[in-house]
């Protein structure tokens, strides 16, 4: 789960990392009231769960209340790469001397988190990794967290001045603690700045929490911003499904199992179609899940035909067929549905569907070619 | 005898009184697996389908000599269940449970280093040596005994491919689902080394997906140490970057871990890549035919070298290389620490 900048900053602040004061506004008037308290010049920043806000015009430095009212009004309601801005963060502008990067992320290869620091902060770290990899220092973290001597090594890599290193060390150690204690999969400060007054501040925060760990962090789970997410994806999560909308697709798919769902999308593309989504209904044949899946796909006006691809393993084919029939009884579905069903109790499933005038194919390639043809007819 | 599990496997089910645990204990037993014990704390003395239930893994091992454990407990308790099995020195632990927090697996991975237990999973369907032993949740009937080894990060996609192999008359020695999480106990490289060493396996199918770099590591290992034909398939060619595709580990992040990169890496290693699953049986057959008469092996890079099938030398090389990959990773963690011995028992 991605956190907004202001939510991530709250976590950093609670851990004792210096974060400039700042508050969230939903209207231009609220924004002005905050800046009147915190002072000008101020920065107004769009709070959206996607990167590239600055480039899209979602971050502005303002000198006065009039300018702030104008800019906050413009940013609130603008759309950044498909994400509508509902909130802005208002914070005093700082006189920046240096911009650094500090981030902790899971390194799958070594099965442990790594701390990455770079003196080339304020830009995309992946860009730095591509163009000037020597400007990144990577340190693996283990059960000890980040020992002081390693934090000092990272601080030396960032800044030659002892007084700045002394301020950076606790920031890095506390960042490691934020990552660990909140079950984060990413905890990033970019930029981590040194001001003209030689203060060290976290000017931005990007924190991603491991979805699998949300059960033990109810306080973090409550931070989820449903308005910032695709309604289909919200519905999917509530129904225990896994759904990702794909750009430019016309063929909906409902599949049991993530790997098979990906392979189904790929196969649709291979045969010249365009998959509209990834949707894994898991091992269940629960009619409620099938209904939820159909609901999500019918919300998507682009979908011209739907493919069910079910490999009946422990999940019995006839159970899935019953779920599908029950779901279709509950709702009116006007788009064509192609069913591919194989494995356990395949024959019983076929008989059930046949009695309702539906046919199920058993070969995946054939089913994909069929659904592409149906989608083309429906166009 | 195929790899990791076989006729001699004595299986213990952790979480046997739960809904999934009891259902699959029965399914495994019906398949012919020797399910010798179950464990659920507080339910010791009970019996599920004639399988005795114990309060602890230690007691179950002492009484039944179980040498494989399969974990069906809920995600919040799975780390503890794995620790219990490792401390009871069970050589092979298979964790089916999905949804373990990554932090729990970081800790498990660190604990496993230097210990003799091999972990498979979590978030996996388990493994099966057809006709001998099934440890997990896969449907038994789709498999048939034979000489193809299969390893996959997926569940139902594995079933799909196995079913296509079975229908093409290509039986399997062992099929392993290593799991869809970012950190898993056993990776492609580990299983490739075992298949290379197994004289009952003629060819290998590897089913990867987007995210991470385990497929790239596998390709590098195959290039140098695997003499048997390998066919690869990678799921997720149409997956958008930055989005998790169901499996916690299936995500393209920062432009890395794409299906295209992985496919290109396999091709560079001389491994044929199936564009779609239904190409796999044909590519396998071609690979086996190309290998030529028995005893003459194609060594990648064009050289031909005489060797016995499952030659000890090649196998030892592969095992060493797989262990090496682990060691490098372990060493990278802290430069100060002594390299840790990571050799694991290959057979329970």
Out of A170-179, A282-291, B220-229, least confident range: A282-291
Q: How confident is the model at residue B318 (pLDDT cuts 50, 70, 90)?
A: low
Both A166 and A234 in one domain: the answer is no
Both A211 and A100 in one domain: the answer is yes
ipTM of the complex: 0.91
- The range of the structural domain enclosing residue A279 comes to 230-378
Cβ atoms of A220 and A236 closer than 8 Å = no
Q: How far is CA B75 from CA A37, A140, B18, B95, B247, in A?
A: 47, 26, 13, 10, 15
pLDDT of A333 reads 83
Which of A113, A212, A244 has its CB closest to that of B100?
A: A212
Residue in B24, B143, B225, B247 annotated catalytic: B247
Q: How many domains does chain A have?
A: 3
3-state secondary structure A125-160: HHHHHHHCHHHCEEEECECCECCHHHHHHHHHHHCC
Does some domain include residue A135? Answer: yes
Query: pLDDT tens, B125-152?
Result: 999 999 999 999 999 999 999 999 999 9
pLDDT of A340 reads 94
* CB atoms B160 and A364 under 8 Å: yes
pLDDT of B345 reads 42
Residue in A71, A188, A243, A346 annotated catalytic: A188
Both A106 and A193 in one domain: the answer is yes
Long-range Cβ pairs for the range B260-266 (8 Å, 24+): B261/B216, B262/B208, B262/B210, B262/B215, B262/B216, B262/B219, B262/B234, B263/B232, B263/B234, B263/B237, B265/B215, B265/B216, B265/B219, B265/B220, B266/B215, B266/B219, B266/B222, B266/B232, B266/B234
The whole-number average pLDDT for the span A236-263 is 93
CATH at residue A77: 3.30.1490.20
The whole-number average pLDDT for the span B193-219 is 96
Query: Using CA atoms, how far apart are residues B139 and B24, in angstroms rounded to an integer?
Result: 10
Å between A35 CA and nearest CA of chain B: 35
Cβ atoms of A129 and A190 closer than 8 Å = no
The whole-number average pLDDT for the span A116-144 is 92
Both A71 and A103 in one domain: the answer is no
Q: Which helix (H) or strand (E) element contains residue B239?
A: none
Does some domain include residue A5? Answer: no
Which of A142, A211, A343 has its CB closest to that of B110?
A: A142
Check whether A25 has a pLDDT greater than 90.
yes
Q: Is B169 left (phi over 0), alpha (psi -120 to 50) or beta?
A: left
Cβ atoms of A211 and A182 closer than 8 Å = no
pLDDT of B300 reads 52
Which residue out of A103, A259, A367 would a mutagenesis test of the B interface target, given it has the greatest number of B Cβ atoms within 10 Å? A259
Both A158 and A282 in one domain: the answer is no
Would you call A310 exposed, middle or buried from its count of C-beta atoms within 10 A (0-12, 13-18, 19+)? buried
Check whether A285 has a pLDDT greater than 80.
no
**How big is the CA angle at A322 (ends A312 and A315), to the nearest 5 degrees?**
25
* CB atoms B106 and A244 under 8 Å: no
Query: Using CA atoms, how far apart are residues A322 and B57, in angstroms rounded to an integer?
Result: 40
Q: Which helix (H) or strand (E) element contains residue B235?
A: strand B230-235
Q: Report the residue of chain A nearest B161, measured CA to CA.
A: A260
Cβ atoms of A192 and A100 closer than 8 Å = yes
Q: How confident is the model at residue A77 (pLDDT cuts 50, 70, 90)?
A: confident
The whole-number average pLDDT for the span A154-167 is 97
Which of A266, A312, A313 has its CB closest to that of B238?
A: A266
* CB atoms B75 and A212 under 8 Å: yes
Domain end call among A168, A190, A222: A222
Who wins on pLDDT, A146 or A81? A146
Check whether A287 has a pLDDT greater than 80.
no
Å between B18 CA and nearest CA of chain A: 16
Of A148, A135, A145, A136, residue with least CA distance to A112: A145
Task: Provide the H-helix boundaries in B72-211.
Answer: 75-87, 102-112, 156-167, 188-197
Both A259 and A348 in one domain: the answer is yes
The whole-number average pLDDT for the span A252-267 is 95
Both A216 and A255 in one domain: the answer is no
Q: How confident is the model at residue A215 (pLDDT cuts 50, 70, 90)?
A: very high
Both A202 and A217 in one domain: the answer is yes
The percent of residues in chain A predicted with pLDDT above 70, rounded, is: 99
Which of B152, B213, B237 has its CB closest to that of A266?
A: B237
Query: Using CA atoms, how far apart are residues A248 and A245, in angstroms rounded to an integer?
Result: 9
Both A245 and A371 in one domain: the answer is yes
Query: pLDDT tens, B89-120?
Result: 999 999 999 999 999 999 999 999 999 999 99
Domain end call among A198, A222, A246: A222
Query: Using CA atoms, how far apart are residues B153 and A210, in angstroms rounded to an integer?
Result: 20
Query: pLDDT tens, A216-229?
Result: 999 999 999 988 88
CATH at residue A176: 3.30.470.20
- Residue A30 appears among annotated catalytic residues: no
Measured N-to-C along each axis, helices B57-64 and B75-87 cross at an angle, to the nearest 10 degrees, of 50
Query: Using CA atoms, how far apart are residues B46 and B54, in angstroms rounded to an integer?
Result: 8
Does some domain include residue A11? Answer: no
Both A163 and A50 in one domain: the answer is no
Both A127 and A114 in one domain: the answer is yes
Measured between beta carbons, the chain B residues lying within 8 angstroms of A106 are 102, 106, 182-183
* CB atoms A364 and B237 under 8 Å: no
- For the ranges A230-244, B146-160, B236-250, the one whose mean pLDDT is highest: B146-160
Alpha carbon B113 to its chain centroid, in Å, reads 18
Q: How confident is the model at residue B317 (pLDDT cuts 50, 70, 90)?
A: low
CATH at residue A342: 3.40.50.261
Euclidean distance between the first and the last CA atom of chain B, given in angstroms as a whole number: 12
Check whether B319 has a pLDDT greater than 70.
no
Measured between beta carbons, the chain B residues lying within 8 angstroms of A270 are 275-276
The whole-number average pLDDT for the span A315-337 is 84
Both A237 and A370 in one domain: the answer is yes
Query: Using CA atoms, how far apart are residues B229 and B282, in angstroms rounded to an integer?
Result: 12
- Torsion angle, CA of A179/A181/A182/A185, rounded to 10 degrees? 40
Check whether A318 has a pLDDT greater than 70.
yes
Q: Report the residue of chain B nearest A128, measured CA to CA.
A: B254
The whole-number average pLDDT for the span A195-205 is 96
Residue A251's SS3 state is strand
Q: Report the residue of chain A nearest B275, measured CA to CA.
A: A270
Of A244, A209, A213, A206, residue with least CA distance to A223: A209
Å between B67 CA and nearest CA of chain A: 25
**Which residues of A participate in the annotated binding site?**
45, 52-54, 94, 99, 190, 204, 256, 313-315
Who wins on pLDDT, A14 or A326? A14
Long-range Cβ pairs for the range B72-76 (8 Å, 24+): B72/B13, B72/B14, B72/B15, B72/B16, B72/B18, B72/B20, B72/B21, B72/B24, B72/B96, B72/B97, B73/B14, B73/B15, B73/B18, B73/B21, B73/B97, B74/B15, B74/B18, B75/A212, B75/A215, B75/B99, B75/B100, B75/B101, B76/A215, B76/A216
Q: Report the residue of chain A nearest B249, measured CA to CA.
A: A108
Domain end call among A204, A222, A240: A222
Check whether B334 has a pLDDT greater than 60.
no
Q: How many residues does chain B have?
A: 348
Å between B23 CA and nearest CA of chain A: 10
Which of B183, B209, B240 has its CB closest to that of A259?
A: B209
Residue B13's Cβ-side half-sphere holds a number of Cα atoms within 13 Å equal to 32
Q: How confident is the model at residue A50 (pLDDT cuts 50, 70, 90)?
A: confident
Check whether B30 has a pLDDT greater than 50.
yes
Q: How confident is the model at residue B248 (pLDDT cuts 50, 70, 90)?
A: confident
Which residue out of A49, A137, A258, A279 would a mutagenesis test of the B interface target, given it has the greatest number of B Cβ atoms within 10 Å? A258
Q: Report the residue of chain A nearest B209, measured CA to CA.
A: A259
Measured between beta carbons, the chain A residues lying within 8 angstroms of B255 are 126
pLDDT of A226 reads 87
């Amino acid at each position: 789960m991605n956190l907004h900048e202001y939510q991530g900053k709250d976590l950093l602040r609670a851990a004792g990392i210096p974060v400039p004061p700042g508050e969230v506004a939903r209207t231009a008037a609220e924004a002005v009231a905050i800046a009147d308290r915190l002072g000008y010049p101020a920065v107004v920043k769009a709070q959206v769960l996607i990167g590239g806000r600055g480039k899209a015009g979602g971050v502005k430095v303002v000198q006065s209340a009039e300018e702030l009212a104008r800019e906050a009004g413009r940013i609130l309601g603008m759309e950044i790469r498909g994400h509508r801005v509902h909130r802005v963060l208002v914070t005093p502008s700082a006189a920046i001397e240096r911009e650094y990067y500090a981030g902790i992320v899971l390194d799958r290869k070594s099965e442990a988190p790594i701390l990455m620091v770079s003196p080339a902060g304020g830009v995309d770290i992946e860009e730095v990794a591509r163009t000037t990899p020597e400007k990144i220092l990577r340190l693996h973290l283990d059960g000890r967290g980040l020992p002081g001597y390693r934090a000092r090594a990272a601080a030396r890599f960032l800044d030659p001045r002892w007084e700045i290193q002394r301020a950076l060390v606790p920031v890095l150690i506390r960042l490691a603690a934020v990552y660990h204690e909140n079950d984060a999969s990413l905890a990033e400060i970019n930029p981590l700045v040194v001001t003209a007054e030689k203060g060290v501040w976290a000017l931005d925060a990007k924190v991603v929490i491991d979805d699998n760990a949300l059960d033990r962090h109810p306080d973090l789970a409550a931070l989820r911003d449903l308005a910032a997410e695709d309604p289909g994806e919200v519905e999917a999560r509530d129904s225990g499904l896994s759904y990702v909308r794909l750009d430019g697709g016309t063929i909906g798919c409902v599949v049991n199992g993530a790997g098979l769902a990906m392979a189904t999308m790929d196969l649709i593309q291979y045969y010249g179609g365009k998959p509209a989504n990834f949707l894994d209904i898991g091992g269940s044949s629960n009619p409620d899940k099938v209904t939820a899946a159909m609901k999500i796909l019918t919300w998507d006006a682009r979908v011209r035909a739907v493919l069910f691809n079910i490999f009946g393993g422990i999940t019995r084919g006839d159970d899935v067929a019953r779920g599908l029939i029950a779901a279709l009884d509950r709702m009116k579905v006007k788009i064509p549905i192609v069913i591919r069903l194989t494995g356990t109790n395949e024959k019983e499933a076929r008989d059930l569907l046949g009695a309702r005038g539906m046919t199920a194919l058993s070969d995946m390639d054939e089913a994909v070619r069929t659904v592409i043809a149906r989608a083309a007819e429906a166009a | 005898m195929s790899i990791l599990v076989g006729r001699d496997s004595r299986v213990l089910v952790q979480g046997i009184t739960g809904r999934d645990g009891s259902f699959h204990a029965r399914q495994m037993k019906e398949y012919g697996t020797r399910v010798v014990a179950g464990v659920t704390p507080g339910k010791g003395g009970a019996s599920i389908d004639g399988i005795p239930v114990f309060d602890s893994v230690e007691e179950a091992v002492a009484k039944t000599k179980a040498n494989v454990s399969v974990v069906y407990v809920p995600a919040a308790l799975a780390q503890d269940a794995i620790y219990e099995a490792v401390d009871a020195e069970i050589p092979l632990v298979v964790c089916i449970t999905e949804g373990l927090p990554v932090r729990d697996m970081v800790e498990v991975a660190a604990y496993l280093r230097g210990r003799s237990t091999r972990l498979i999973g979590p978030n996996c369907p388990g493994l099966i040596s057809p006709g001998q032993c099934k440890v997990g949740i896969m449907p038994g009937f789709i498999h048939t005994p034979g000489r193809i080894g299969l390893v996959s990060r997926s569940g139902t996609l594995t079933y799909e491919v196995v079913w296509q192999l079975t229908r093409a008359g290509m039986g399997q020695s062992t099929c392993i689902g290593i799991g869809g999480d970012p950190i898993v106990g056993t990776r492609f490289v580990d299983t490739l080394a075992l298949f290379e060493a197994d004289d009952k396996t003629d060819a290998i199918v590897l089913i990867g997906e987007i995210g991470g770099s385990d497929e790239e590591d596998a390709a590098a290992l195959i290039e140098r140490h695997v003499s048997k034909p390998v066919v690869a398939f990678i799921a997720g060619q149409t997956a958008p970057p930055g989005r998790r595709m169901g499996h916690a580990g299936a995500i393209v992040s920062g432009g890395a871990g794409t299906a295209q990169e992985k496919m290109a890496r396999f091709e560079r290693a001389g491994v044929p890549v199936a564009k779609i699953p239904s190409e796999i049986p044909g590519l396998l057959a071609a690979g086996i035919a190309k290998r030529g008469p028995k005893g003459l092996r194609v060594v990648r890079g064009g050289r031909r070298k005489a060797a016995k099938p499952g030659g000890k030398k090649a196998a030892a090389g592969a095992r060493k290389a797989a262990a090496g990959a682990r060691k490098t990773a372990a060493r990278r963690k802290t430069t100060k620490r002594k390299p840790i011995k990571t050799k694991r028992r290959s057979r329970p």
